[in-house]
Structure 1
Amino acid sequence: MRLDKYLKVSRLIKRRTLAKEVCDKARVEINDRPAKASSNVKIGDKLAIRFGQKIVTVQVEDIKENPRKEEAASLYRVLGEVPVPRDEKEEDAYIKG
């Protein structure tokens, strides 16, 4: 399954277009490698997603095309959350400013 679609159906990111934008800005990694929206996601892959001031790491547990809302959380397992390192925050401020 495409990465942008997986992020949407698992409800990690609300909309597929937003998931594509996040991938295009190199804020998503699959197994410690930067990933494009068209990258394939497989069971067992580790995804690191940068959300604002934190990086959330999840492991892909299952892949379903159209899961119900209640099933979405079972598609992945959260491995951890870490704050964004200070130098990356400053870099974002420079880009935005």
Structure 2
Amino acid sequence: MRLDKFLKVSRLIKRRTLAKEVADQGRITVNGNKAKASSTIKVNDELQIRFGQKVVTARVELLKENAKKEETANMYAILKEEKLEKVEPQFIDDEA
């Protein structure tokens, strides 16, 4: 199954076009490799998705072409969720 379709059907990302944009920006990895929206995923693949200041790591548990809202939680398992440290801009002191 295509990555963008899985993200939409599983409701990890609400719209397929948004899933494609996130993938095209290089914010998704599959098993440690940067993934395109067209990347094929399979059961037990590990996805790492960066949402702003948060990184979510999930494992693919089930692939379905269509899923009801109640079934989507069975499609993946959240392995970890971590907040990224906000990096403060570094100013160079020209007078030093």
TM-score, structure 1 as length reference: 0.87
Equivalent residue number for residue 2 of structure 1: 2
Q: Percent identity?
A: 58
Supply the distance in 1 between the matched residues of 2:28 and 2:54 (Cα, whole angstroms).
Answer: 12
Q: SS of 1:50's equivalent?
A: strand
Q: Indicate conservation of the 8 Å contact 2:31/2:47, yes or no.
A: yes
Equivalent residue number for residue 72 of structure 2: 72
TM-score, structure 2 as length reference: 0.88
- What amino acid is aligned across from residue 71 of structure 2 in structure 1? E
Equivalent residue number for residue 95 of structure 1: none
Equivalent residue number for residue 43 of structure 1: 43
Can you give the 5+ residue segments of structure 1 that lack an aligned partner in the other structure? 91-97
Q: SS of 1:56's equivalent?
A: strand
Supply the distance in 1 between the matched residues of 2:14 and 2:86 (Cα, whole angstroms).
Answer: 27
- What amino acid is aligned across from residue 62 of structure 1 in structure 2? L
Deviations 1:39-80 (A, max 9, x none): 001000000000111100000000000011100111000000
Can you give the 5+ residue segments of structure 2 that lack an aligned partner in the other structure? 90-96
Equivalent residue number for residue 92 of structure 2: none
Deviation at 1:86, TM superposition (A): 4.4
Larger Rg: 2
Deviation at 1:84, TM superposition (A): 2.1
Flag as ranges the 4+ runs of structure 1 deviating above 4 A. none
- What amino acid is aligned across from residue 49 of structure 1 in structure 2? I
Cα-Cα RMSD: 1.4
Equivalent residue number for residue 33 of structure 1: 33
Deviations 1:9-49 (A, max 9, x none): 00000000000000000000000110000000100000000
Question: Which structure shows the bigger proportion of residues in helix conformation?
Answer: 1
